Amino acid sequence: MPFEVTILGCSSATPTADRHPSAQILNIRDNLMLIDCGEATQNQMLHYRIPHSRISSIFISHLHGDHYLGLNGLLATINFQGRVLPLDIYGPQPLEQMMLDHFRFSGTQLKFPLRFHVTQDQKREKLMETNKHEVFSIPLQHRIATTGFIFREKIGLRHINVEACETLNIPYVYYHDLKEGQDYKDDNGLIHRNDILTFPPSEIRSYAYISDTRFFAELAEEISGVDMLYHESTFLNELKERAEETFHTTALDAARMAKMAGVKKLILGHFSARYRDLTPLLNEAQTLFENSHLAIEGSRFSVD
């Protein structure tokens, strides 16, 4: 089952001819979530053939324009397409009123339930859970209230040991119970232990989305051990001072964070428009953390 991120935008504040502002789709077991929604996110979804209607929920990290200005346009398109399923949006408090103002002045009447959930940047918080995964917000340190997000699978069902079950002629109707951990009693009343008939569930997978923030060591604890980390890396280390002034992170510090937090894979993004060639940012990160990657638009990263 997929656990995969598709990059829709990787630019920082100002777009370039080939880079759009922040947006990405996280697919956890076919549940599609949109993380940040910069301008033209709906166009990028068209471009990469991700149906707008597939999104179940949207997470907005903060209210800088490059992270949310595509939201009202996307919602209008979803509405035109006749959505009836509810859509959950998680974001800072003023976002709700700004959306409502746009709906009011544009005469928009949503045909689907839009459920807005306020995030706060003071402490870690569980935002939502389904039977498959849960999402947490964590405080970041940026110029305005900003949160990162952690997406974590829940423990799944056990996997059938097909060979063992077929040897014992266990009917298929019992497979679901076996996956849930039950033992099997055969026609002779003999108990077969579950751990002989099944394999353990898949390891739970996790993803942290960190954009935008200055580097601060305490973050490492919050995201400790996630499999895959997206971290902003707006600047090269030679502009560390500029990064500090603007509450952003360098590629080197993003790699440092990946190392400190013990993650398995690092995706670098939110690149300053000044970098036409992104290779130096990748090279810089890889000096500290080898399994680093660039969030090139259209690329997909999965946790195996």
Is-catalytic flag, 227? Answer: no
107 binds a copy of itself (CB under 8 A): yes
Contact 272, 242 (CB under 8 A): no
Question: What is the DSSP code string of 105-147?
Answer: HTT---SS-EEEEEE-SSS-EEEEE-SSEEEEEEE--SSS--E
The one segment of 7-15, 150-158, 178-186, 278-286 that binds a copy of itself by CB under 8 A: 7-15
Closest to a copy of itself by CB, 74 vs 252, is 74
Beta bridge partners of 206: 152
Given the residues 18, 30, 36, 66, select the one marked as catalytic: 66
Does 40 sit near a copy of itself (CB under 8 A)? yes
Does the footprint of a copy of itself cover residue 296 (CB under 8 A)?
Answer: no
**Cis bond before residue 88 (omega within 30° of 0):** no
Q: Which is closer to a copy of itself, CB of 40 or CB of 229? A: 40
Give the residue with the Cβ less far from a copy of itself, 16 or 299.
16
Distance CA 36, CA 64 (A): 10
Instruction: Tell me whether residue 1 or residue 144 sits nearer to a copy of itself (CB atom).
Output: 144
The 3-state DSSP class for residue 78 equals helix
C-alpha closest to that of 59 among 185, 148, 169, 171: 148
- Contact mark string toward a copy of itself, 114..153, x via CB under 8 A: -----------------------------xx---------
Among residues 6, 8, 10, 20, which is the contact residue for a copy of itself, using CB under 8 A?
20
Burial of residue 191, with CB atoms counted within 10 A of its CB: 0-12 exposed, 13-18 middle, 19 or more buried: exposed
Any residues with CB less than 8 A from the CB of 178 and at least 6 apart, and which?
A: 158, 160, 165, 170, 184, 194, 197, 198
Q: Decide if 176 contacts 197 (C-beta within 8 A).
A: no
Among residues 238, 155, 171, 163, the alpha carbon closest in space to that of 196 is found at 163
| Nearest to a copy of itself of 42, 250 (CB atom) | 42
Among 1, 14, 166, 238, binds a copy of itself (CB under 8 A): 14
Name the minimum Å distance from CB 102 to a copy of itself.
7
Q: Which of 102, 192, 240, 242 touches a copy of itself (CB under 8 A)?
A: 102
Site for a copy of itself in 41-80 (CB under 8 A): 42-43, 46-47, 63-66, 69-70, 72-73, 76-77, 80
CA distance 78 to 82: 7
Residues with a known catalytic role: 66
Binding site for a copy of itself (CB under 8 A): 13-17, 20-21, 39-40, 42-43, 46-47, 63-66, 69-70, 72-73, 76-77, 80-81, 92, 94-95, 97-98, 101-102, 105-108, 143-144
